[in-house]
Amino acid sequence: MKILLCVFHPNIAESRVNKRWMEAVSDDSQITVHEVYSTYPNWSFDLKGEQQLVETHDRIVFQHPFQWYSVPPLMKKWLDEVLDYGWAYGSGGTALSGKEWLSAISTGGSAQSYQLGGSNGYDLLPSHCKIR
């Protein structure tokens, strides 16, 4: 299985968790590590190149910090532009058929802080999910 790890961290050099995750898999021949912020410092995507990366991999992993109960801004832009109508969804949009999508999310806070009654006041995961 070919895995595409899309790393969306605005400052990977200063990251503790995301940098370590990325380094842990960087020597695996089945994993393509794609640091999106460093690849596109001007935020202008090569849409066909990005789509080809997705097409040539079986599993797509989105690795990013949890920011304001959302994703980093460049990831939102990537999702909006790369996964476009007619390619990823809609009429003729079958490029993602059969692909697996996973999210690897870091919080910068403890698991307890992202539970009802915790310091953030909200659950990060539905009650049927387990934090590992």
Question: What span, in angstroms and rounded, lies between the C-alpha atoms of 98 and 77?
Answer: 23
Read off the pTM: 0.86
State the Rg of the chain over Cα.
Answer: 16
Q: Where are the alpha helices (DSSP H) in 1-132?
A: 17-25, 36-39, 47-55, 73-82
Q: Please tell me the total number of residues recorded for the chain in this structure.
A: 132
Domain boundaries, the chain: 3-114
In this predicted model, what pLDDT tens digit does every residue of 63-121 receive, in sequence order?
999 887 789 999 999 999 999 999 999 999 999 999 999 999 888 777 777 777 777 76
In this predicted model, what pLDDT tens digit does every residue of 11-68 receive, in sequence order?
999 998 999 999 999 999 999 999 999 999 999 999 999 999 999 999 999 999 988 7
Contact between 55 and 74 under an 8 Å Cβ cutoff? The reply is no
Q: Name the CATH architecture for the domain at 3-114.
A: 3-Layer(aba) Sandwich (3.40)
pLDDT (0 to 100) of residue 129: 58
